[in-house]
Amino acid sequence: MAKVFLIPGLGADSRVYHNIHISGYELIGVDFIEPNKTDTLSTYAQKLIDQYDINNRSVVIGNSLGGMLAVEIAKLVDLHKVVLTSCPKTVDEMPGFIAFLRRVPLYKILPSKSFTILGFFVRVFFGKMDTYGKWLFEDMLRKSSWSFSRWAMGAAVHWNNKIIPPNLYHITGEKDLVFPAKLIKNATIVKGGSHIMIYDKADEINEYLEKILKAV
C-alpha cells in the first residue's frame, strides 16, 4: 500500500489530520524531531526523509510550516505527489509580517510562557472552532517543544525558496488570515476556509485529496 506522509504545522502535531481520510493509502503522521540550531528547513527536511524513509513512491502532504517542509522534501526526493495546504510554496507568496520579522526577530526573545499568547493567536487568527477543536489546538500547543518552535519560527521566517517542485498541488483557504489567499498563485481555493481548514473543512479537503491522488 502506498504511503502518505502527513506533516503538521508549527505548534501542532499529527492530530491536526484527525479528520483526514484517504482510501487505499497508508497514512503516516510525521512527528517533529529536535533540530540543531544550525538547521535550515532544507537540512531538517533531509532528516525527516531519513527518519521516515520518504522515497519517490511517497506522497507528502504538508500543512502550514509542514507545507514548507514538504516543498523542501520534494526538492530532495522526486516524490510521487506533494500537496500543500494553508501555506506559501515560495518566498514570493509570503505575507508582509514575515519581512518584518526578518528585520525585527521578536521570536528570539519570546519566553516559553508565550504558548499562552500563542493560544490567543490560535483563537483569533485560526478561525472559529468547536469546543473540542479549541481544546485540541491548545493541547497541541501545550505539548509542543518550545526549543523546536523557536527554531521553526526562525527557519520559516528566513525561508527563501523560489523553486516549485514537480507534481505539486496547492490548496488554500479563502479566509486564511496567516497566509492570505490573495498572495497564493495557482491554488485551489476552499470557500470559507481558514488557516485550520485541514481540521474544520476536512470533508472538502478529503474530496480534493481523493481527486489529486487519483489523477494520472
pLDDT in tens, the chain (216 residues): 789 999 999 888 999 999 999 999 999 999 999 999 999 999 999 999 999 999 999 999 999 999 999 999 999 999 999 999 999 999 999 999 888 888 877 666 666 555 555 555 555 556 567 778 778 887 888 888 888 988 999 999 999 999 999 999 999 999 999 999 999 999 999 999 999 999 999 999 999 999 999 986
Which long-range contacts (C-beta less than 8 Å, at least 24 apart) are formed by 129-135?
Answer: 129/196, 129/199, 129/200, 130/200, 133/196, 133/199, 133/200
For residue 10 the three cell numbers come to: 508549527
Give the integer Cα–Cα distance in Å for 210 and 21: 9
Give the integer Cα–Cα distance in Å for 170 and 83: 6
Q: pTM here?
A: 0.91
Q: Output the domain CATH number for residue 49.
A: 3.40.50.1820
Domain count within the chain: 1
Q: What is the pLDDT of residue 111?
A: 60
Segments forming the whole domain that contains residue 121: 3-214
Are 7 and 29 a contacting pair, CB within 8 Å? no
Are 152 and 107 a contacting pair, CB within 8 Å? no
Q: What is the pLDDT of residue 92?
A: 97
Are 210 and 22 a contacting pair, CB within 8 Å? yes
Q: What is the pLDDT of residue 11?
A: 83
The single-letter DSSP state of residue 119 is: H
For residue 207, count CB atoms less than 10 angstroms from its CB and return exposed for 0-12, middle for 13-18, buried for 19 or more: exposed
